[in-house]
Amino acid sequence: GENVEQHPSTLSVQEGDSAVIKCTYSDSASNYFPWYKQELGKRPQLIIDIRSNVGEKKDQRIAVTLNKTAKHFSLHITETQPEDSAVYFCAANGPIDSGYALNFGKGTSLLVTP
Amino acid sequence: DAGVIQSPRHEVTEMGQEVTLRCKPISGHDYLFWYRQTMMRGLELLIYFNNNVPIDDSGMPEDRFSAKMPNASFSTLKIQPSEPRDSAVYFCASSYGSMNTEAFFGQGTRLTVV
């Protein structure tokens, strides 16, 4: 099945700096790559997603890049703020025999210090 | 819409007891997912339904776990008998139209089996 690896597991940055989280996937047929943010004690919520027909997508301070050849995608957060502190999960849709169900990475705990 | 609603929010039970978790998806959504979240294994897909029909239950860990969706507005996840290693946060999520669109998560049920 699909295997999604996510790095780093923890990340600490100073307010105003950029944060980058990287993920790799194994199934070359994967074509949907969402990112979810989960604040402490809360539910995961979608912050941005990208499909395989584009290489980059941006939404204000958040951007995602996709390299299909290398099978990796990354989340970039610029001008980080304390409220960006949360756990971020990447995901990729799995193979057809799983019905293309999403497989999640293990998460990155991001801490933005003032 | 109030979003995906799960109950109970917290459940503490003794080993060997039956546990039933409940979920009400967003009205009109045709996909429903059950996830389990632990520190060690992250977010794991247990089972998902499309139009109330179970499509893939390969993530269900053992026969002790079962899930039903008797109608479009209600689903249950049952564990019988429960074991301490089942302790986790269980999320229900729903989406509309496709596996590869935003999944809206409920607040989760934190299950503790002692």
pLDDT band at A1 (very low <50, low <70, confident <90, very high): low
| B58 touches A: beta carbon within 8 Å | yes
**Average pLDDT for B17-38:** 96
C-alpha separations of B8 from A32, A43, A80, B88, B107 in Å: 32, 15, 35, 13, 10
Intra-chain end-to-end CA distance of chain A, in Å? 41
pLDDT at B103 over 70: yes
pLDDT of residue A97: 67
Task: Show residues of chain A in contact with B102, CB under 8 Å.
Answer: 34, 46, 49
Best of B23, B43, B53, B110 to substitute, by most chain A Cβ atoms within 10 angstroms, is B43
| B105 touches A: beta carbon within 8 Å | yes
pLDDT band at B87 (very low <50, low <70, confident <90, very high): very high
**pLDDT tens-place string over residues B65-86:** 999 999 999 999 999 999 999 9
- State whether B107 and A43 contact (CB < 8 Å): yes
Tokens in use for A113?
A: 């210090």
pLDDT of residue A3: 86
**pLDDT tens-place string over residues B17-26:** 999 999 999 9
- The alpha-carbon radius of gyration of chain B (Å, integer) is 13
Tally the residues of chain B. Answer: 114
Cα torsion through A76, A81, A83, A88, rounded to 10:
20
Look at residues B67, B19, B62 and name the one whose alpha carbon lies nearest to residue B7. B19
Pick from A49, A99, A107: CB nearest B56: A99
Look at residues B104, B58, B75, B89 and name the one whose alpha carbon lies nearest to residue A94. B58
- State whether B99 and A103 contact (CB < 8 Å): no
Look at residues A9, A44, A43, A36 and name the one whose alpha carbon lies nearest to residue A92. A36
**pLDDT tens-place string over residues A56-111:** 999 999 999 999 999 999 999 999 999 999 999 999 997 766 677 889 999 999 99
Asked whether the bond before B61 is cis by omega within 30 degrees of 0, the reply is: no
pLDDT of residue B76: 98
Look at residues A63, A36, A61, A65 and name the one whose alpha carbon lies nearest to residue A52. A65
pLDDT of residue A91: 95
Q: Which residue has the tokens 């499909």?
A: A51
Give the three-class secondary structure for B33.
strand
